Structure 1
Amino acid sequence: MRQNLPERMEHGGRVRWHRTRGRGELLDFSANINPYPPDISWTPDPSVLNDYPDDRYEALKEVIGRTFGRDAAEVAVGNGSIELIRAFCSAMLGPGDAACITPPTFAEYEMAVLLAGARCTDESNEAAVRFLCNPNNPTGAFHTRPEVLRLLAATAEQGAYLFLDEAFIELSDPRQSLADVSHENLFVLRSLTKSFAVPGIRFGYGFGTPELIERVETVRLPWTVNTFAESFAIEAFRNYDTLEESREKIARERGWLCDRMAGLGLAYEPPSANYILVEVPMETEVLVERLLRHDILVRDCRSFGLPRHIRVAVRTHEENRQLIEALEACLP
């Protein structure tokens, strides 16, 4: 019997789609990309395309392991973080299982659970997997390391796994990360491409016990991390510490944006990373369309179940100033 598939999820970062439809140059505030990425001296070497990638990605995993104090056998890699979300769910969930997801949050958790044949619930005591996005997308809600450790202990006591998505923690407060924690009931997901501003490369990675990683890697399609992505990732991890400067600049601009939002009478969730969830006093789709006429693209949050909210990325000061000017012109 053919499986009834769920509807595809909506995402931000559709600036190329808009450009192909005559929108011209847009400032993309819909994708949460580091506006102050480290300067990586990397030039693609076309000769690496002559061979298949090493599907074990041994050199890449060694570099990631050294960066985070983990063994290479505790590292998984994928073509963006979404591939690892789906691989994890395919490996760990099946018909009859449930996963605990607390909305609003990243829609791909639900998609991956449903594609694995499992169901979603908001009851943690009946779940085989509990998802936590930290910082959460789109709200920016952020849990400290002690809070997440307590949640991990409670989840493990129920015999469940904690899937901890830290895709934005590198641009927030990495001191709160659990990337260095090895626990049989924990999988930690990360994304390199957001923090180094190369979303077109597509590269995600994660941490777990060797046994858990082996299951995830068995499900993952072979050769999904291409040789250009592997080469860039290795160079980026060698410059990983330089992200501190990015965090400092983002924090300053985030504060400036919040002050200006408050000055416009807009309410927003307390932000913790490089994006802000903003409540707007009008139909979201109307505001989004008005902003497009000012060459500003923001994230329409109706797909998160938030019909009166937009999410805006933190960009450079001049770009943020243009966003505020456009909001002033577009709000009632």
Structure 2
Amino acid sequence: MRKNLPKKMEHGGRVRWHRTRERGELLDFSANVNPYPPRIPWTPDPLVLKDYPDDRYELLKEVIGRAFGRDTAEVTIGNGSVELIRAFCSAMLGDGDMACIRPPTFAEYEMAVKLAGARCTADENGAVVRFLCNPNNPTGLLHTRPELLRLLEKTAGQGACLFLDEAFIELADPHQSLADVSHENLFVLRSLTKSFAVPGIRFGYGFGTPELIEKVETVRLPWTVNAFAESFAIEAFRHYEDLERSRERVARERNWLSGRLDDLGLVYEPPSANYILLAVPLEAEVLVERLFSRGILVRDCRSFGLPRHIRVAVRTREENRQLIEALEACLP
């Protein structure tokens, strides 16, 4: 009997798709990537393509471990963070299990839970896994480290595992991270591609106890991180501290953009990272099309269950000016 699959989730960052259809040049505010990434002195070496990657990725894990004070046995890597979400769910969830997910949040948690044969609930009671995105996508809500530690204690006391997605923490406040915490009921997910603005590389990584990481690594497909991605990631982590400058510049632009949105009378969630969730006075679909006609691509948040919201990335000053001008022209 065929398996009933859930509907594929919608995401932002479709600018390449539009460009291939001769839609002209677009400013992509739908993908939340760092507008001020560190400069990485890296040139692809074609010679690395002649061999299979080391599926244990020992050197890469050593570099990551040094950056975060974790043992290599506590590190896992994947072809983007979504692969690790699915690998984690395949390893930790089964038929009849419940996973606690409180919307609106990243849609791939629900997708991975369902593909694992489990069910989603907003009730933490009886859940095997509790998902939390910090800062949350799309709202930008940022929980503090003390809040997270209390939540971890509570979740562990219920016999459940806390899946903490910190994909945007480097561009928000890394002091609130739990990446340095080793706990048998905790898995922390990170993404290199957003903070270093290389979504085409596809690279995610995560932390957990050696026992948990072994389970995730068993489920993960072999050689999923290609040799170019591995090479870039090794060099990027050697420049990890350079992200502090990125955070400062993002915060400055976020404040400027927030001020201009205030001038337009728009209501938005208090932002903490490099994106802002906006409530808009018309159907999101209509505004998205109007902005698109002006060369601006934003995230339609209907897929988050928010029919009158859009999400916009924080970009450079000149690009942010263009967004504000387009909003002025497109809003009723």
TM band (smaller chain): over 0.9
3-state SS of paired residue (2:125): helix
Alignment of 1:16-27 (within 5 A): 16-27=16-27
Alpha-carbon distance in 1 for matches of 2:273, 2:188:
18
Aligned AA (1:35): P
Task: Give deviations 1:221-266, integer Å, cap 9, x for gaps.
Answer: 0000000000000000000000000000000000011110010010
Inter-partner Cα distance in structure 2 for 1:17 and 1:226: 23
CA distance in 2, matches of 1:21, 1:303: 23
Provide the rounded CA distance (Å) in 2 between the counterparts of 1:126 and 1:102.
15
* Post-superposition offset of 1:24: 1.1
Q: Tell me, in whole angstroms, the C-alpha distance in 2 between the residues paired with 1:168 and 1:185.
A: 22
1:45 Cα deviation from its structure 2 partner: 0.2
> One-letter code of the match for 2:165?
D
Letter in structure 1 aligned against 2:13: G
- Runs of 4+ aligned structure 1 residues displaced above 4 Å come to none
Q: CA deviation at 1:23?
A: 1.1
Alignment-derived partner of residue 107 in structure 1:
107
After TM superposition, give the deviation of residue 19 of structure 1 in Å. Answer: 1.1
1:49 partner SS: helix
1:303 counterpart residue number: 303
Name the SS for the 1:125 alignment partner.
coil
Corresponding residue of 1:246: 246
The separation in 1 between residues aligned to 2:276 and 2:255, in whole angstroms, is 10
Q: CA deviation at 1:140?
A: 0.2
The 1-side partners of 2:232 and 2:21 are apart by 31
CA deviation map 1:269-304 (0-9, x unaligned): 000000000000011111111101110000000000
1-structure distance, mates of 2:171, 2:134 = 11
Name the counterpart of 1:124.
124
Q: 2:50 aligns to what?
A: 50
Q: SS of 2:163's equivalent?
A: strand
**Counterpart Cα distance in 2 of 1:312 and 1:253:** 13
The question of 1:233 aligning with 2:242 is answered no
Deviations 1:163-218 (A, max 9, x none): 00000001000011000000000000000010000000000000000000000000
Matches within 5 A, 1:1-332: 1-332=1-332
Aligned positions, number: 332
Letter in 2 for 1:289: E
Q: Which amino acid aligns with 2:130?
A: R
Q: Which amino acid aligns with 1:283?
A: E
In structure 1, runs of 5+ residues without a counterpart are none
Shift, 1:2, TM fit: 1.4
Q: Distance in 2 between matches of 1:284 and 1:186?
A: 36
Q: Which amino acid aligns with 1:181?
A: V
Residue 115 of structure 1 aligns to which amino acid in structure 2? L
Provide the rounded CA distance (Å) in 1 between the counterparts of 2:100 and 2:129. 6
User: How far did residue 20 of structure 1 move?
Assistant: 1.7
Question: For 2:212 and 2:253, how far apart are their aligned partners in 1?
Answer: 39
- How far does residue 137 in structure 1 lie from its aligned partner after superposition? 0.1
Per the TM alignment, residue 15 of structure 1 is displaced from its structure 2 partner at its CA by: 0.3
- Read off the aligned partner of 1:284 and give its amino acid letter: A
Q: Deviations over 1:300-326 (max 9, x none)?
A: 000000000000000000000000000
Shift of residue 101, structure 1, vs aligned partner: 0.1
Q: Give, in whole Å, the separation in 2 of the partners of 1:127 and 1:114.
A: 14
Distance 1:125 1:237 in 2: 38
Structure 2 counterpart of 1:101, one-letter code: I
TM-score where L is the length of structure 2: 1.00
Partner SS state of residue 250, structure 1: helix
